[in-house]
Structure 1
Amino acid sequence: MKRHAVFWSLIVLAVVMLAPFVIVAMNALKSPAEYAADGPLALPSDITFQGIVDFWERVDFGQKLLNSLVISGSVAVLAVIISVFNAYALGIGRVRGRLWILIAFLVANTLPQEALVYPLYYLAKETGLYDTQLSVIIVFTIIQAAFGTYLLSSTFVGFPAELLEAARIDGANKWQTLVRIVVPVSRPTLAVLFVFFFIWTWNEFFLPLVLLISNDTQTVPVALGVLQGQRLMDATMTSASALLGVIPAIAFFLIFQRTLTRGITAGAVK
């Protein structure tokens, strides 16, 4: 009985979570006249993609999609690499002041973006990086790497000493130990970090809104927010924008779902 109760509870929870997405998808496939006549909860009688096409052309969604992919992918890769280097030094190298350094990384993750926006805006202006994708990549690489360093350092502290000793006996230097021993063993955890960094960066809105003002450099969330704020879209086009905005993140998550599952399972086994 308990298993059945848990099963049906999960079914109800899944329906509740998927209901908004289904409603948005239905309205994105309606015409404005049908939406006005039947309301948002009625099934579309005649499927049309005109709202999606109009929104794609109005915001140049292909360019925004490419911008988000470049920024999120670059941040995810760079943040993982920097996190590995930092955590290797702090977790395995045991540098002096390790605890205080980790506390500094932890505090950095608790700072609200509103407190960072003016210093980052000023630095971007002074360095000539304002309104460039590189400025957003640098900022979020540092932010994500701070969290990655804190997490990986805790993981590397418990790294099997036997493997490190065996590598040292075989004549491996610190760089070889990192590349040939630490990284392969930690690959599931690094894969999980990569997925999280990508999705977190993809969904960022506030700092990209401040640092990216040109239409050619904006990301998907910024383009959606700016256009909706201008009240230039009807209900069907608004639904189309929400649908197109969330589909890439869902697709990325589904593609790397097995990687994410393996990483979490490997962490549980350890």
Structure 2
Amino acid sequence: MIRKYSVLVSLAVLAVVMLVPFAIVTLNAVRSPADYSANGPLSLPDGLHLDGIVEFWNRVDFGGKLWNSLLISGSVAVLAVVLSVLNAYALGIGRVRGRTWILVVFLVANTLPQEALVYPLYYLSKEAGLYDTRLGVIIIFTVIQSAFGTYLLASVLGRFPHEILEAAALDGAGKWRVLWRVVVPVSRPTLSVLLIFFFIWTWNEFFLPLVFLISNENQTVPVALGVLQGDKMMDATMSSASALLGILPAVVFFLIFQRTLTRGVTVGAIK
């Protein structure tokens, strides 16, 4: 009993520690610069002031940046999951020749730092006419994320029940039908977790979008926030507003799909 309550208390303390910075940023984002200067960052605001949020939104065209991040992250999440499923189906169930070495290549690809990929990707995107385009960034991150997804799903599908596959084959189902009617529905919890992770990982990416999206109309939310860091025209309340607007969409997305994520992890653990 004591151990149970000690764990609960530890988790509660950890939750408070994690939420305090977010609460401070939120309070400072809805206060006036005069109130911030007079009372400091840790006091309660004297009222609800949205001037900092509105000014930051208009200054950086945050609506456009938000759309760019949603488009890129959503497209990468869906495409990377589809590509991972196709690759893993061939490697995990199809048992192609050299499967182990191919998985080693995918594993090594996951360990490469983005700094090592910048120069070849830069010249390739220039030659293909995809530099400073959202399509180019979508293609790059789809390949990067699918490398991890392929490695993970190949291990999962390698333990897929062969009885189900044999029963589908006896019913006359071809490889494509087995994939979309049998493998994908059974693996849906794992695919849902990958989809959520791919979206959040791509949303938080900063380095590659900073290099490949130099036009203001193509920039994502993290790039817009990073470019404005140290801007002399931004006061403390506007900086807090920018931080709040930057993290809020990812938090909302996580809260919406929290049950899906929990269900996917639980089902994977049971399997």
Q: TM-score range by the shorter chain?
A: over 0.9
Tell me the distance in 1 between the aligned counterparts of 2:185 and 2:232. Answer: 50
Residue number in structure 1 paired with 2:216: 215
* TM-superposed deviation, 1:231: 3.5
Taking structure 1 as the reference length, the TM-score comes to 0.99
Match of residue 86 from structure 1: 87
Alpha-carbon shift at residue 125 of structure 1 (Å): 1.2
Q: Equivalent residue for 2:250?
A: 249
Q: For residue 21 of structure 1, what is the amino acid of its counterpart?
A: F
Residue 264 (structure 2) aligns with = 263
Distance 2:136 2:29 in 1: 34
Which residue pairs with 2:131 in the alignment? 130
1:195-219 Cα deviation digits (max 9, x unpaired): 0000000000000000001111000
Question: What do residues 121-144 of structure 1 show as CA deviations (whole Å, max 9, x unaligned)?
Answer: 111111111110001000000000
Residue 232 of structure 1: how far off its partner (Å): 2.9
Report the CA distance between 1:230 and its aligned residue.
Answer: 3.5
Measured after TM superposition, the shift of residue 113 of structure 1 is 0.5
Q: Which residue of 2 aligns with 1:37?
A: 38
- In the other structure, the counterpart of 1:5 is 6
Query: Quick check: 1:108 aligned with 2:141?
Result: no
| Range with bigger deviation, 230-239 or 243-252 | 230-239
- Give every structure 1 segment of 4 or more consecutive aligned residues whose post-TM-superposition deviation is greater than 6 Å: none
**In terms of mean alpha carbon deviation, does 4-13 or 191-200 score higher?**
4-13
Matches within 5 A, 1:1-270: 1-270=2-271
Deviation at 1:262, TM superposition (A): 1.0
Give the counterpart letter for 1:243 in structure 2: L
Amino acid at match of 1:177: V
Letter in structure 2 aligned against 1:221: P
CA distance in 1, matches of 2:99, 2:246: 41
Matched pairs, number? 270
**Unpaired runs of at least 5, structure 2:** none
For 1:48, give the aligned amino acid. H
Tell me how far 1:229 sits from its aligned partner.
4.1
Alpha-carbon shift at residue 156 of structure 1 (Å)? 0.3
- Aligned-residue CA RMSD in angstroms? 0.7
Task: Tell me the SS of whatever aligns to 1:47.
Answer: coil
In the TM superposition, what whole-angstrom CA distance separates every residue of 1:168-190 from its partner, at most 9, and x where no partner exists?
Answer: 11111111100110000000000
Residue aligned with 2:216, SS: coil
Could you give the per-residue CA deviations for residues 16-49 of structure 1, whole angstroms, max 9, x where no partner exists?
Answer: 0001000000110111111111111111012200
- Partners of 1:20 and 1:180 lie apart in 2 by 46
Return the alpha-carbon distance in structure 2 between the equivalents of residues 233 and 82 of structure 1. Answer: 42
What code does the residue aligned with 1:133 have?
A: R
- Identical amino acids, percent of aligned pairs: 73
| SS class of match (1:216) | helix
CA distance in 2, matches of 1:242, 1:231: 16
Partner SS, residue 49 of structure 2: coil
Q: C-alpha displacement at 1:100, in angstroms?
A: 0.5
Superposed CA offset, 1:69-125 (max 9, x none): 000000000000000000000000000000000000010010000111111111111
